[in-house]
């Protein structure tokens, strides 16, 4: 009975928050309202970031091969329409850094191979050995077990892709819109910087070392799901065979302090999972953590 009352109370609270959040939405669909607000807007230097986004999007859409011309022009057209309509504008403008990250991630594959930097296969494992006295990520992969595989897959294969949406939903429901905007800003730019680093300084993942050793890599080589291949074997599926950051933890623990011990446990589990599944070196985890913490404390508004 007590557990039922808790569930009912939680459900009522979520419903109340949902009704309030929907009530706060701008439900106008007239582009005139957006144009009027733009005319009354006092521009600042921070608004110049949108010039960066325009230049970045122009570059990526220019080199994009799939979809080709003229279908790829629908991307900026649809985005412009979404920005002009007030109802969708309140979602799409704050999410612009996330769209920039996704566009960069997807379209970077179309950069000509002769324009790309050489893929390093030895820098990360060497750094890890020098800094930590051993290739720690390699040690973590020497013993595998189906139970550990599933235990690693849950945070990395499921939570890694769903929790950012959960964080956004909770911020939208239970915090002021500025919190959600900050989340989109930090999460988007953090991942955008991560992709740009990978483009400028490409490094092979641990699974490459397991399969090919230190044989020089090139861009014609196919990717690998690494340890996630064992998940396909466990569930008799082909999800990872066919195709293949701790920022959420920081946000949840900041805006929902009572969750701190749980989210940091999840973050630690995620760190282990990325190494156990041969997707990242320990040096990746440390570097990514520093980047996430730097973005979080560097760009989180004071209010």
pLDDT tens, residue order, the chain (303 aa) = 667 777 878 888 888 989 998 999 999 999 999 999 999 988 888 889 999 999 999 999 999 999 999 999 999 999 999 999 999 999 999 999 999 999 999 999 999 988 999 999 988 888 888 888 888 888 888 889 999 999 999 988 888 888 889 889 989 998 888 889 999 999 999 999 999 999 999 998 888 888 888 888 888 887 888 888 898 888 887 766 544 355 555 556 666 677 778 888 888 898 999 999 999 899 888 888 899 889 888 887 765
112, part of any domain: no
Write down the pTM of the prediction.
0.88
Does residue 41 sit in the same domain as residue 146? Answer: no
19, part of any domain: no
Does residue 71 sit in the same domain as residue 125? Answer: no
Does residue 282 sit in the same domain as residue 192? Answer: yes
Residues found in the chain? 303
108, part of any domain: no
Question: Of 55, 77, 93, which one is at a domain's C-terminal end?
Answer: 93
Question: Of 93, 125, 145, which one is at a domain's C-terminal end?
Answer: 93
Domain region containing 46: 26-93
Does residue 121 sit in the same domain as residue 42? Answer: no
210, part of any domain: yes
Does residue 238 sit in the same domain as residue 157? Answer: yes
13, part of any domain: no
Does residue 66 sit in the same domain as residue 138? Answer: no
Does residue 126 sit in the same domain as residue 219? Answer: yes
- Kindly state the tokens that stand for 139: 């040690």
Number of domains in the chain: 2
Does residue 50 sit in the same domain as residue 128? Answer: no
Does residue 297 sit in the same domain as residue 204? Answer: yes
Does residue 77 sit in the same domain as residue 150? Answer: no
253, part of any domain: yes
271, part of any domain: yes
Question: Of 93, 125, 148, which one is at a domain's C-terminal end?
Answer: 93
122, part of any domain: yes
Does residue 83 sit in the same domain as residue 125? Answer: no
- What is the SS3 assignment for the chain? CHHHHHHHHHHHHHHHHHHHHHHHCCCCCCHHHHHHHHHHCCCCHHHHHHHHHHHHHHHHHHHCCCCCCCHHHHHHHHHHHHHHCHHHHHHHCCCHHHHHHHHHHHHHHHCCHHHCCCCECCHHHHHHHHHHCCCHHHHHCCCCCHHHHHHHHHHHHHHHHHHHHHHHHHHHHHCCHHHHHHHHHHHHHHHHHHHHHHHHCCECCHHHHHHHCCCCCCCCCCCCCHHHHHHHHHHCCCHHHHCCCCHHHHHHHHHCHHHHHHHHHHHHHHHHHHHHCCCCCHHHHHHHHHHHHHHHHHHCCCC
Does residue 199 sit in the same domain as residue 53? Answer: no
């Amino acid at each position: 009975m007590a557990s039922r009352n808790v569930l009912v109370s939680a459900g009522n609270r979520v419903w109340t928050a949902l009704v309030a959040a929907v009530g706060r939405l701008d439900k106008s669909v007239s582009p005139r309202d957006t144009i009027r607000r733009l005319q009354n807007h006092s521009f600042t230097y921070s608004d110049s970031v949108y010039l960066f986004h325009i230049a970045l999007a122009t570059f990526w859409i220019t080199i994009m091969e799939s979809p080709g011309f003229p279908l790829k022009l629908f991307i900026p057209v649809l985005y412009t329409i979404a920005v002009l309509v007030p109802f969708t504008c309140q979602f799409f403008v704050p999410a612009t850094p996330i769209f920039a990250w996704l566009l960069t991630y997807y379209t970077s594959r179309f950069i000509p191979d002769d324009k790309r930097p050489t893929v390093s296969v030895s820098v990360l494992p060497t750094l890890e050995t020098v800094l930590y006295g051993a290739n720690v990520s390699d040690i973590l992969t020497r013993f595998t077990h189906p139970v550990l595989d599933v235990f690693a897959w849950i945070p990395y294969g499921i939570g890694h892709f769903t929790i950012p949406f959960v964080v956004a939903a909770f911020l939208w429901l239970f915090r002021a819109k500025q919190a959600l905007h900050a989340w989109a800003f930090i999460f988007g730019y953090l991942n955008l910087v991560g992709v740009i680093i990978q483009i400028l300084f490409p490094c092979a993942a641990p699974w490459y070392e397991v399969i090919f050793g230190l044989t020089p890599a090139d861009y014609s080589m196919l990717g690998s799901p690494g340890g996630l291949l064992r998940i396909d074997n466990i569930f008799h599926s082909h999800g990872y065979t066919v195709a293949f950051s701790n920022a959420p933890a920081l946000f949840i623990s900041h805006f929902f302090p009572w969750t701190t011990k749980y989210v940091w446990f999840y973050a630690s589990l995620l760190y282990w999972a990325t190494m156990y599944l041969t997707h990242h070196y320990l040096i990746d985890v440390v570097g990514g953590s520093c980047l996430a913490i730097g973005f979080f404390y560097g760009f989180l508004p004071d209010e």
